[in-house]
Amino acid sequence: MSAVLESDCFREEALRIGGERVHTGRSIDVLNPFNGERVGSVAMASVDDVRRAMDIAQAYLPTLTRYERSAILNRAAALLRERTEAASDLITAESGLSKKDSVYEIGRVADVLNFGANEALRDDGQVFSCDLTPHGKRRKVITTREPLLGVITAITPFNHPMNQVAHKVVPSVATNNRMVLKPSEKVPLSAYWFADLLYEAGLPPEMLQVVSGDPREIADELITHPKVDLITFTGGVPIGKYIAATAGYKRLVLELGGNDPLIVMDDADLDKASDLAVQGSYKNSGQRCTAVKRMLVHQKVLAEFTERVVAKTRAWTYGDPMDRRNEMGTVIDEAAAEHFQRVVDEAVLQGARLLVGNRRDGAIYSPTVLDRVHPDMTVVREETFGPVSPIIGFKDIDEAIRISNGTAFGLSSGICTNRFDDAARFARELKVGSVNLWEVPGYRIELTPFGGIKDSGLGYKEGVQEAIKSFTNCKTFSMPW
């Protein structure tokens, strides 16, 4: 299979099962959210197709050495970097993300591959001496990490069509696991492209199979199949909780929604803080689990901060995703844009003030700022997965922490202050998975632990290193010494 593609050609994708391209006679169209054109289609899997993929995966025993796994991942990274244009064109065509965002995403995917290649070479085993206590013995305990006995099911969301996939596939390859991937039916083409890249780089196809289809038909099979040992899911809270309730005796890694604040204290450099606010809110069309979804601002600087955010929002370019001058393309589809408009209209009816934005043209939704919101409005309470940011004032750090912790989510946060005691207090008291001082909530590198608590996740982390831990069983071997 070849990963070469012309960026402007129609892609008719088949399932990837056991090294074969399987056409099923049924397909799902993939539409460009900007102009409605068909970008491609993907085959729809049946429950039997999923079972066949599971059987093939379970029967295959990967034998790749650490060196071989690392070489495959590095090769794929090099190929991907060479093909940045084609790969980012595909992401932009099927998701409506701007070329700026999709080119950036390709860089991230290549990082995931390189980090995975490095980690594959690193033996993270530990050695314990056993004669540490009065009743100790002259023995040693050595730990090793082994691939899972069964198959990994991976289910990914639409917002980073290739990077969400890479964060699941790469740690699986690095640990010699076997994975069946179901990408989002909204953006499945990038996932197939990425799988082909890995096959081309030398990955045995039994180690990664891809099925697409209607989740109402195949999702239950993917999450309850007896050969599945682990489900790694990134997506919204309702489906995450459904998986948790349905999967039974299986390991679960759930990366769910967020409602992340950017907190601006009264000593903050407001130019820097407002830069972070707009970047955190609008990059990737605001469709990041860790996008800035609430701006919490000290009353003393609220007016000045708001003025700067409004000015920078007005200057944020958006529109045709392929136009490289645009910072922002569309959101995922027209229905999503309509939803944002409804939520903002509702807030305005309830007394919020619309400062800029809330304009829609098809799936294009303009960056939007609101103030005079209160915590029980939908736009504050729930995750708005788009370029909408309500600004909320607070009087002191106690109130900032209380508002920040006052939603069901606990993913990440960004803090703007130069006072170390305040920064340290936020780091201790925010009930989230990450606290970034002078950065957007989404800041991380692909290697570092990442993930949320409360409704945002069960506390298991992603990031290449942590995923490797959750995708393996730790075995100990002890011996006389």
Mutual orientation of helices 270-282 and 299-314 as an angle, nearest 10°?
A: 50
Q: Between residues 58 and 234, which has the closer beta carbon with respect to ligand NAD?
A: 234
Least distance from C-beta 308 to ligand NAD, angstroms? Answer: 27
Bridge partners (DSSP) listed for residue 257: none
Query: Is 184 part of any known ligand binding site?
Result: yes
Of 242 and 443, CB closest to ligand NAD: 242
Q: Using DSSP bridges, classify how beta strands 228-234 and 11-13 pair: parallel, antiparallel or unpaired.
A: unpaired
| Residue 283 is labelled as binding a ligand | no
Q: How far is the CB of 256 from ligand NAD (least distance, A)?
A: 5
158 is in an annotated binding site: yes
Residues that bind ligand NAD (CB under 6 A): 155-159, 182, 184-185, 215, 219, 223, 234-236, 239, 242-243, 255-258, 289, 383, 385, 411, 452, 456
Task: Report yes or no: 113 and 73 within 8 Å, Cβ to Cβ.
Answer: yes
- Cβ closest to ligand NAD, residue 107 vs residue 449: 449
Alpha carbon 330 to chain centroid distance? 18
Under 8 Å between Cβ of 366 and 322:
no
CA pseudo-torsion sign 116, 290, 162, 251: positive
In the bound state with ligand NAD, the residue whose beta carbon lies nearer, of 202 and 236, is 236
> Which letter does DSSP use for residue 152 in this model?
E
Q: Which helix (H) or strand (E) holds 354?
A: strand 353-356
- CB of residue 157 vs ligand NAD: minimum separation in angstroms? 3
SS3 415: strand
CA 277 – CA 295 distance, rounded (Å): 7
Q: Find the catalytic residue in 105, 221, 255, 446.
A: 255
Instruction: Tell the smallest beta-carbon distance from residue 190 to ligand NAD (Å).
Output: 13
**Encoded tokens for 9:** 């050609």
Closer CB to ligand NAD, residue 45 or residue 268?
Answer: 45
Is-contact 464 115, C-beta < 8 A?
yes
Marked catalytic residue, from 119, 221, 289, 439:
289
* 182 is annotated as contributing to ligand binding: yes
Work out how close the CB of 219 gets to ligand NAD at its nearest, in angstroms, rounded to a whole number: 3
DSSP 459: S
| 371/390 Cα distance (integer angstroms) | 6
Nearest residue (beta carbon) to ligand NAD: 235
> Cβ contacts of residue 378 below 8 Å, gap of 6+?
343, 346, 347
Annotated catalytic, 289?
yes
Please identify, using beta-carbon distances, which residue of 64 and 464 lies nearer to ligand NAD. Answer: 464
What whole-number distance in Å separates Cα of residue 164 and Cα of residue 17? 21
156 is in an annotated binding site: yes
Q: Name the minimum Å distance from CB 400 to ligand NAD.
A: 22
Is 474 designated active site?
no
Query: Locate tokens 């001082």: which residue?
Result: 437
Q: Which of helix, strand or coil describes residue 298?
A: strand
185 marked among binding-site residues: yes
Is residue 236 annotated as involved in ligand binding? yes
Q: Where are the beta strands (DSSP E) in 219-373?
A: 228-234, 251-255, 260-264, 292-298, 353-356, 360-361, 364-365, 368-371
Residue ranges for the known binding site for NAD(+) are 156-158, 182-185, 236, 383
Annotated binding site: 156-158, 182-185, 236, 383
> Catalytic residue numbers?
255, 289
